[in-house]
Amino acid sequence: MSTIQLRTSIPGPRSQALMRRRNAAVPQAAYHATPVFIAKGEGAVIEDVDGNRMIDFAGGIGCLNTGHRAPSVVEAIRRQLDRFLHTSVNVLPYESYVSLAERLNALTPGKFAKKTIFFNTGAEATENAIKIARFYTKRPAIISFEDAFHGRTYMAMALTSKTHPYKAGFEPFPGDVYRIPYAYCYRCSYSLQYPSCEVHCAHHIEDTFKRVVAAESVAAVIVEPILGEGGFVTPPREFYPVLAEICRKHGILLIADEVQTGFSRTGATFACERFGLEPDLIAMAKSLGGGLPLAAVTGRAEIMDAPGSGQLGGTFAGNPAACEAALAVLDIIEKENLNARANHLGEMFRKRAAEWQRRWELIGEVRGLGAMQALELVRSRATREPADAETKEVSQYCYEHGLITITAGSYSNVIRLLMPIVITDAQMDEALDVLEAALAAVTEKKSAIPQMA
Ligand SMILES: Cc1ncc(COP(=O)(O)O)c(C=O)c1O
């Protein structure tokens, strides 16, 4: 029996009524990728307020690698509800905060001594990683990448690349942030070809030190191991060794933003492991809390200890229920071997996507690692003109047929997969059937597939 069960057209009448109330009460800036209101979620499946069952390929934008309401996560939160809900760790500490720091210190790449501090959101994690790096190095400048996304607060916006909708109109941003091209081989900023380019983009940072900002002024380079919002762009394996060596040579810290790539998404607990990268600081959030807001910065102990008492933190940072949830998430990753599962899901997708690429000009590139997979859609393979409107159509077709997907990319032409990694093979196949039908409908202008009952 199919998982997707649609009782109404999408959005159904209850979702539509709620959307009318939402439009009157909530500003348009709080965007929704789908016009569907959820009633309940379980694993990789959601049920909406009209009783429609849909497969979730967005997972709360990568926050639900362990699925909606993973039973052990819910149980851990429940146990915490019976003890205490909030103290502010700045006032009264609790054991789960320390246990989670110990676990992350041990789990993150690098065998050196580490320490961890907690926050609430990804933007807070990236902001604080910058605070720590500047404080430790006593240097002002930060280098971030084209197509990067690091959040919506002011420093995070300064680090972020995409202008619309994230930055335009919100200027001015904090200074001393310099942007360099990412290893986006499909749209190389230097018009070179991999591998003959010999990762020129990584080596070119030495030129940036001569022409843009002096190396001795740079506190840190912040990088997403694989771009998230930027379109799941996956650098070639030579990129990070070169970048890391240049940073080391100049005493510049390397910060990995694993907010979207972390917690098994790429087939390793952290994407850095896939590249043999041992960053000085790692920012994380999203799937860490299993659905509750929780973020962390883990890094070399001597760097993390640079700011003094009270210089980092926040009232809610490291909430006790979220820390308990995160401990349960780490157990699931280990016990259910989510890393292997992510690689399996990635292979399932790649097999199907290779066939789609043979069939349809629309699929410009298929890329990713593990379960962090994406399709970049183009109007022509020759010109690589981004197919942004078609991408929107594919996504709309999907939710109208019971699959929630989200898009990405600086040109809004990427379909990205962020399904819970606990999704079953049968659900994954069913979801890919819908995605295939959507691609067929958009490219071949076919009529919609029959509604699944
Ligand atoms: C790589 C990366 N960094 C930072 C953020 C910001 O996280 P948050 O939305 O929790 O502030 C995101 C969010 O999508 C992200 O993908």
What is the DSSP annotation of 188-244? -TT---TTTT-SHHHHTHHHHHHHTS-GGGEEEEEE-SS-TTTT-----TTHHHHHH
Atom of ligand 1 nearest to the CA of 124: 11
Q: Which of 118, 259, 316 to mutate to test the pocket of ligand 1 (most atoms within 8 A of CB)?
A: 259
Closest CA to 437 of 411, 408, 404, 401: 401
**From 149, 233, 316, mutation site for ligand 1 pocket: most ligand atoms within 8 A of C-beta:** 149
Query: In the prediction, which pLDDT does 453 show?
Result: 42
Given the CA of residue 285, which atom of ligand 1 is nearest to it? Answer: 10
**Interval between CA 226 and ligand 1 midpoint (Å):** 13
Beta carbon of 440 within 6 Å of any ligand 1 atom: no
| Per-position pLDDT tens, the chain of length 453 | 899 999 999 999 999 999 999 999 999 999 999 999 999 999 999 999 999 999 999 999 999 999 999 999 999 999 999 999 999 999 999 999 999 999 999 999 999 999 999 999 999 999 999 999 999 999 999 999 999 999 999 999 999 999 999 999 999 999 999 999 999 999 999 999 999 999 999 999 999 999 999 999 999 999 999 999 999 999 999 999 999 999 999 999 999 999 999 999 999 999 999 999 999 999 999 999 999 999 999 999 999 999 999 999 999 999 999 999 999 999 999 999 999 999 999 999 999 999 999 999 999 999 999 999 999 999 999 999 999 999 999 999 999 999 999 999 999 999 999 999 999 999 999 999 999 999 999 998 744 444 444
Q: What is the pTM of this model?
A: 0.97
Residues in the chain: 453
3-state class of 117 per DSSP?
strand
The pLDDT of residue 1:
83
Is the CB of residue 224 below 6 angstroms from any atom belonging to ligand 1? yes
Q: What is the three-class DSSP state of 79?
A: helix
**Cα dihedral value 104, 107, 112, 115, nearest 10:** 0
pLDDT of residue 447: 42
Distance (angstroms) between ligand 1 centre and the Cα of 228 equals 8
Cβ of 126 less than 6 Å from ligand 1: yes
Relative to the CA of 229, which ligand 1 atom is closest?
16
The residue whose CA has the least distance to atom 16 of ligand 1 is 260
Nearest to 186 by CA among 357, 365, 361: 365
| 196 CA from centroid of ligand 1 (Å) | 33
Ligand 1 pocket member 166 (CB < 6 A) = no
Cα pseudo-dihedral 281, 147, 374, 275, rounded to 10:
-30
DSSP-assigned letter for residue 452: P
Helix (H, G, I), strand (E, B) or coil at 300: strand
Please state, in angstroms and as integers, the Cα–Cα distance from residue 171 to each residue in 128, 130, 180, 222, following that order. Answer: 21, 20, 20, 21
Residues 344 and 267: their CA atoms lie apart, in Å, by 9
Q: Relative to the CA of 148, which ligand 1 atom is closest?
A: 1
122 CA: nearest ligand 1 atom: 7
Q: Tokens for 394, please give them.
A: 């594919």
313 CA distance to ligand 1 middle (Å)? 18
pLDDT given at position 137 = 98
What is the rounded distance in angstroms from the CA atom of residue 397 to the CA atom of residue 402? 9
